[in-house]
Amino acid sequence: MKIIYEGTDIYPDISVHRCFHDMYAEKQSDELLLKLNDTRGLWDRWAPKKGDTIAIEDGAAKTGKMFVESVVPESGVVTLRAYSAPQSVKDKRSKSWEKVKFLQLVQEIAGRHGLSVETYGITDQTYDYVEQNNLPDFAFLQARCTLEGAAFLVYDGKLVVYDEAYMESQAPADTITITPASDFEYRDEGANAYGSAEAVNGGLMGTFAAPAGGDKVLRKILPLRMTDQSEADRFAKGLLRDANKGATVGTLWTSSLLRNYAAGSVVTLATQSVQSWDGPAFISRIRHDYVKTRSKLYLRKPLEGY
């Protein structure tokens, strides 16, 4: 195992008490929680500060570059928190664009925070007018991604933007067998899912109905300009996906560290007692516990048809 702090491997000089790395596929930066036994007071001499870079490596499992948010020493233990996105993403901004493309917004935001861009399955839509009104860049981008049925994550200096339905349809990376002895919990609230959505602004109302959906309607009044009916309908589709995608979710603790797994990928589940979960599952979050060498998967069943 390596703990690379500001370019130097400090692992030989410290004793790790706890090390969690949470990778998120959407809506949140990856987070690192590191607790170190520091009876020799090394951290104080190293003078760590907010914004320093840190990375954990354990074979194929890597956190990528992360930015220190806080370092708190207490009774011989140092607690460090770091995130995959730089501090600058918290700054609120106001700006407007005319005749702007979706990926133009993505590239501008990424460049502002020193991130490169990767995209998967994205359709580069054009908007007549877009306004960012006193919002942090990532909050603004998240709202736009939700409307487009997209999501983003930040890993190792990259802003990765992807179409959710596209990623959910990818070939599973592996098969996980779940036995009655597995630490697997699930919740199915599919019966409470919305059957359709309406996106309303001024004289435009976009609509979208899920395949085989029920009668429950999601109605959202959007505080933004919609260009035309097709855009309004597309936004309704994105809103319905966002509201329903968490209807069937589960968690699974594994007995080993899943070094080759990452949030945003698909696995196949093969169960011996919960056959309704057999088939593909999307990893929305994964926690690597580097001390106990095990992982916790947060899974959701892919939506069908949208």
Task: Provide the pLDDT for residue 160.
Answer: 98
Closest CA to 242 of 270, 269, 222, 266: 222
Closest CA to 73 of 119, 34, 113: 34
Task: Provide the pLDDT for residue 53.
Answer: 96
Q: How far apart are CA 63 and CA 3, in angstroms?
A: 10
Tokens read off for 184: 């697997």
3-state helix, strand, coil in the chain (%, to 5): 20, 45, 35
Q: What is the DSSP letter of 28?
A: S
| CATH architecture of residue range(s) 88-167 | 3-Layer(bab) Sandwich (3.55)
Task: Provide the pLDDT for residue 4.
Answer: 96
Place of tokens 């979710």: 249
How many angstroms separate the Cα of 33 from the Cα of each of 16, 61, 78? 11, 15, 11
Contact 9, 276 (CB under 8 A): no
Task: Provide the pLDDT for residue 40.
Answer: 77
How many angstroms separate the Cα of 264 from the Cα of each of 8, 54, 88, 172, 302? 30, 22, 24, 11, 12
Closest CA to 244 of 288, 212, 277: 212
Task: Provide the pLDDT for residue 115.
Answer: 98
Q: How far apart are CA 63 and CA 58, in angstroms?
A: 9
Task: Provide the pLDDT for residue 181.
Answer: 87
pLDDT tens for the 306 residues of the chain, in order: 999 999 999 999 889 999 999 999 999 999 999 999 877 777 877 788 899 999 999 999 999 999 999 999 888 899 999 999 999 999 999 999 999 999 999 999 999 999 999 999 999 999 999 999 999 999 999 999 999 999 999 999 999 999 999 999 999 999 999 988 899 999 999 899 999 999 999 889 999 999 988 899 999 999 999 999 999 999 999 999 999 999 999 999 999 999 999 999 999 999 987 888 899 999 999 999 999 999 999 999 999 989
| Secondary structure (H, E, C), 270-290 | EECCCHHHCEEEEEEEEEEEC
Task: Provide the pLDDT for residue 42.
Answer: 77
Task: Provide the pLDDT for residue 266.
Answer: 97
Beta-carbon contacts of 115 under 8 Å, excluding residues fewer than 6 positions away, are: 86, 154, 157, 158, 159
At 210 the three-state DSSP class reads: coil
- Return the CA Rg of the chain: 21
Question: Which amino acid is present at 86?
Answer: P
